[in-house]
Amino acid sequence: MAERNGDKSRVPVTIRIPEAILKEIDNKVEQEELPISRNHWIVEALVEKLKKNHNGN
C-alpha cells in the first residue's frame, strides 16, 4: 500500500531493530535542534548509507 507524495511513493515497512539501537536512535532524535520523527531519522540514515555505498565508501 503505497502513498503518493509528489513523484515519490512511500511503502510501509516493518523492521526489527535491537532495543539498544532503537534507544540510540531515540537519543539522537531528541538531540536534533528541529523536531523530527524517528521514522524520518531512520530514512535519512538509510539514504546516507546508500549514497556512501554508491560512491564506493
Q: What is the pLDDT of residues 4-57, one digit of tens each?
A: 556 678 899 999 999 999 999 999 999 999 989 999 999 999 999 999 998 886
pLDDT at 50: 95
Q: What is the pLDDT of residue 8?
A: 78
Q: Are the C-beta atoms of 2 and 9 separated by less than 8 Å? A: yes
Dihedral sign computed on CA atoms, order 2, 22, 36, 43: negative
What pLDDT is recorded for position 56?
A: 81
